[in-house]
Chains A and B, each alone.
Chain A
Amino acid sequence: MSTDNSKIAGYAHPERLVTTDWLAEQIAAGAVGAPGGIVLLESDEDVLLYATGHIPGAQKIDWHVDLNDPVTRDYVDGQRFAEVMGSRGIGRDTTIVVYGDKSNWWAAYALWVFTLFGHEDVRLLDGGRAKWIEEGRELTREVPTPTPADYPVVERQDAPIRAFKEDVLEHLGRPLVDVRSPGEFSGELLHMPDYPQEGAMRGGHIPGAKSVPWARAANEDGTFKSRAELEDIYLTEQGLSPTDDVVAYCRIGERSSHTWFVLTQLLGFDKVRNYDGSWTEWGNAVRVPIER
Chain B
Amino acid sequence: MSDAPLPAALAEIAEDFSSASNPMKLDLLLEFSEELPALPDRYVGQLDKLERVDECQSPLFLTVEVDDGERLEDRPVHLFFDAPPEAPTTRGFAGILHEGLDGLSAAQILDVPDDAPMRFGLAEAVSPLRIRGMVAMLARIKRQVRAKTATAASI
**A47 contacts B127, C-beta separation under 8 Å:** yes
A23-47 interface code vs B (CB 8 A; 1 in, 0 out): 0000000000000000000000111
**B85 contacts A196, C-beta separation under 8 Å:** no
Least distance between A10 CB and chain B CB atoms (Å): 31
Least distance between B79 CB and chain A CB atoms (Å): 21
**B132 contacts A47, C-beta separation under 8 Å:** no
Tell yes or no: B54 within 8 A of A by CB. Answer: yes
**B126 contacts A47, C-beta separation under 8 Å:** yes
CB neighbors of B among A102-161 (8 A): none
Tell yes or no: A166 within 8 A of B by CB. Answer: no
Tell yes or no: B26 within 8 A of A by CB. Answer: yes
Q: How far is the CA of A49 from the CA of B90 in the complex (A)?
A: 11
**A52 contacts B57, C-beta separation under 8 Å:** no
Tell yes or no: B129 within 8 A of A by CB. Answer: yes
Q: How far is the CA of A48 from the CA of B26 in the complex (A)?
A: 7
**A49 contacts B86, C-beta separation under 8 Å:** yes
Tell yes or no: B89 within 8 A of A by CB. Answer: yes
B119-142 interface code vs A (CB 8 A; 1 in, 0 out): 000001111011011001000000
Residue of B whose beta carbon sits closest to that of A64:
B127
Q: How far is the CA of A47 from the CA of B124 in the complex (A)?
A: 12
Which residue of A47, A65, A70, A196 contacts B56 across the interface (Cβ within 8 Å)?
A: A196
Interfacial chain A residues near B132, Cβ < 8 Å: 196
Interfacial chain A residues near B108, Cβ < 8 Å: none
**A196 contacts B29, C-beta separation under 8 Å:** no
Which residue of B33, B54, B124 contacts A196 across the interface (Cβ within 8 Å)?
A: B54
Residues A52 and B30 in contact in the complex (CB < 8 Å), given A46-B89, A47-B126: yes
**A45 contacts B88, C-beta separation under 8 Å:** no
**B30 contacts A64, C-beta separation under 8 Å:** no
Tell yes or no: A194 within 8 A of B by CB. Answer: yes
Which residue of A46, A47, A65, A196 contacts B86 across the interface (Cβ within 8 Å)?
A: A46
Residue of A whose beta carbon sits closest to that of B58:
A46
**B88 contacts A48, C-beta separation under 8 Å:** yes
**B30 contacts A46, C-beta separation under 8 Å:** no
Tell yes or no: A3 within 8 A of B by CB. Answer: no
B56-96 interface code vs A (CB 8 A; 1 in, 0 out): 11110000000000000000000000000111111010000
Interfacial chain B residues near A197, Cβ < 8 Å: 54-55
**A195 contacts B57, C-beta separation under 8 Å:** yes
Tell yes or no: B15 within 8 A of A by CB. Answer: no
Tell yes or no: A51 within 8 A of B by CB. Answer: yes
Interfacial chain A residues near B56, Cβ < 8 Å: 196
Q: How far is the CA of A198 from the CA of B124 in the complex (A)?
A: 19
Q: How far is the CA of A198 from the CA of B120 in the complex (A)?
A: 23
**A194 contacts B59, C-beta separation under 8 Å:** yes
Most A CB atoms within 10 A — which of B26, B56, B85?
A: B26
**B54 contacts A52, C-beta separation under 8 Å:** no
Q: How far is the CA of A46 from the CA of B26 in the complex (A)?
A: 12
**B86 contacts A101, C-beta separation under 8 Å:** yes
Q: How far is the CA of A70 from the CA of B90 in the complex (A)?
A: 22
Tell yes or no: B27 within 8 A of A by CB. Answer: yes
Q: How far is the CA of A210 from the CA of B137 in the complex (A)?
A: 36
Least distance between A48 CB and chain B CB atoms (Å): 4
**A196 contacts B133, C-beta separation under 8 Å:** yes
Least distance between A14 CB and chain B CB atoms (Å): 30
Interfacial chain A residues near B133, Cβ < 8 Å: 196
Residues A51 and B26 in contact in the complex (CB < 8 Å), given A46-B58, A197-B54, A197-B55: yes
The 8 closest A-B pairs by CB, nearest first: A48-B88, A64-B127, A196-B55, A48-B89, A47-B126, A46-B89, A51-B30, A52-B88
A-B contact pairs, 24 of them (CB 8 A): A46-B86, A47-B26, A47-B89, A47-B125, A47-B126, A48-B30, A48-B88, A48-B92, A51-B26, A52-B30, A52-B85, A64-B127, A64-B129, A65-B125, A65-B126, A70-B124, A101-B86, A194-B54, A194-B59, A195-B57, A196-B132, A196-B133, A196-B136, A197-B55
